[in-house]
Structure 1
């Protein structure tokens, strides 16, 4: 028994069963053809999308009224850095700042006002050991007149210009501070090294005479710049000073330190003023 052309074939046997292997091969062949059709169709669709995108790009790039690339306007120029001022640096090194010591080492540069009121301002001093009341002050050009013993000779021989004195008191202790002024720091140093005796105590303005008529007192001598400075300290009631009288030693040291600080500040202030002046 058979069907017309193109029908399925049947294998041998009494039961006339179909040839399953042949059927499976035919089905596989159909599937392969369908798969290739799907793949081919996808490729065609992708190619179509690419073609559309390319067309859009080409169309967008041609919206220039038919002008060629050489005829299109140039983009605006970017701003140049040269329009802004550039920092410049001098090749000349700035001068060093003035040295404060130079302004107290020589009369040629030490021009600030000088007197009892500038060295000893106010009516009292608050120092490390307490508050000292300021008593009498004076300023003399006869340097030897403000000294005791051989100190006058040392000051005069080294060219002393003037002596400025002030007396301070605290708790029964009185100290006179004297500052001798020279033209140079060399002269002041020599006067200090040659000093003998001491600065004469200065009384008045409520301060009784002290450290006179042979009373034992404590004296100090030092110099800085063109200034030599001295202290004479003792008891306001004329009592002799002993090594155990700490308040007298403390008062002399405090006031000597104060004078030193005043001289240093004098140099610093003049150097700062010079540095603030515009260059010539």
Structure 2
């Protein structure tokens, strides 16, 4: 007896050890298709589930936003302040030299008490007591020799003097007042320093017939002079340290006092401007 070729086990029949590969392949392919559809279907369901969760989270988040603090509206930044400049020009401070040069400005009282107010002439470490003072409108009266005529020729208005003394020496300081700077400097250029020494206040005559040291200078409308010597009547020489020192100090003091006069008047004018 024999069998045909249509059996499931292939041409070898049921007793054959060789499987039917075509039938197995078809069956395997069918199983693979079913598995893919299950995977695709499961994936679609998972995607839908995730989408639902996300949508729920978004909805929930949107609901919760109403509880968050709202952003504050900040005010606009103010404009930076702009610098402003005054149209008023501040005048420069008055110059003391103007007040000792111009007689129209130099109007403060001028006496020995205002020009030589201190009881002592102090220059650095050196100090000399004031012994006497004097003033005269006749400038020749306070001079010896050619200085008187030079003062008169240049229109001297007033001559103020003060004497200071210490340790056997003395100096007389003289300040002559003129109507202009030019007149004062003409007297300086003439260099006729023959001021008359002023005795008094315990100081006797000095520089009478004995050589003394003399000095002349000018500032503003003022010429100033010194004459210094030994009270014992001896001549002043290069070795006369004390006499030479008091003469130098007297010249500096005269300049300082004239300049202080200008400074005081300038300060007063500045206060009036403020």
TM-score by length of 2: 0.76
Partner in structure 2 of residue 275 of structure 1? 270
Provide the rounded CA distance (Å) in 2 between the counterparts of 1:25 and 1:264: 123
Kept after mapping to 2: 8 A contact 1:105/1:225:
yes
The 1-side partners of 2:242 and 2:257 are apart by 22
How far does the alpha carbon of each residue in 1:211-236 deviate from its partner, in whole angstroms, 9 at most, with x for none?
11x21000000000011000000111
Q: Kindly indicate whether residue 232 of structure 2 is the aligned counterpart of residue 237 of structure 1.
A: yes
The residue that corresponds to 1:265 in the other structure is 260
Look up the match of 1:45: 53
**What does the per-residue CA deviation read over 1:200-252, in whole Å, with 9 as the maximum and x for residues that have no partner?**
1001110011011x210000000000110000001111111011212212211
Where does 1:140-151 land on structure 2 (aligned, <5 Å)?
Answer: 140-151=136-147
Counterparts of 1:27-42 in structure 2, within 5 Å, are 37-38=45-46, 40-42=48-50
Larger mean Cα displacement after TM superposition, 37-46 or 219-228:
37-46
CA distance in 2, matches of 1:152, 1:230: 12
- Residues 1:124 and 2:120 are matched in the alignment: yes
Cα 1:170–1:29 shift into 2, 3 Å: farther
Residues 1:55 and 1:150: Cα distance change in structure 2 (over 3 Å): same
Matched, 1:217 2:212: yes
SS at match of 2:176: strand
- Are 1:163 and 2:153 matched, yes or no? no
**Do the aligned residues in 2 keep the contact of 1:105 with 1:185 (CA within 8 Å)?**
yes
SS of the equivalent of 2:96 reads coil
Task: Say if 2:92 is the partner of 1:96.
Answer: yes
Spell out the pairing of 1:122-201 with structure 2 (5 A cutoff). 122-201=118-197
Question: Which region of structure 1 is more displaced relative to structure 2, 32-41 or 151-160?
Answer: 32-41
Partner-residue secondary structure (3-state), 1:257: helix
Do the aligned partners of 1:188 and 1:228 also contact (CA within 8 Å) in 2? yes
What is the CA-CA distance between 1:172 and the residue it aligns to?
1.0
The structure-2 alpha-carbon separation of the partners of 1:52 and 1:244, relative to structure 1 and needing over 3 Å to count, comes to same
Q: Distance in 2 between matches of 1:35 and 1:236?
A: 134
Q: CA deviation at 1:104?
A: 0.6
CA distance in 1, matches of 2:145, 2:225: 13
Higher-Rg structure is 2
Per the alignment, residue 10 of structure 2 pairs with: none
**SS in structure 2 opposite 1:138?**
strand
Alpha-carbon contact 2:213-2:236 (below 8 Å) kept: yes
Aligned length: 244
CA distance in 2, matches of 1:25, 1:255: 132
Structure 1 residue runs without a partner (length 5+)? 1-11, 13-21, 61-74
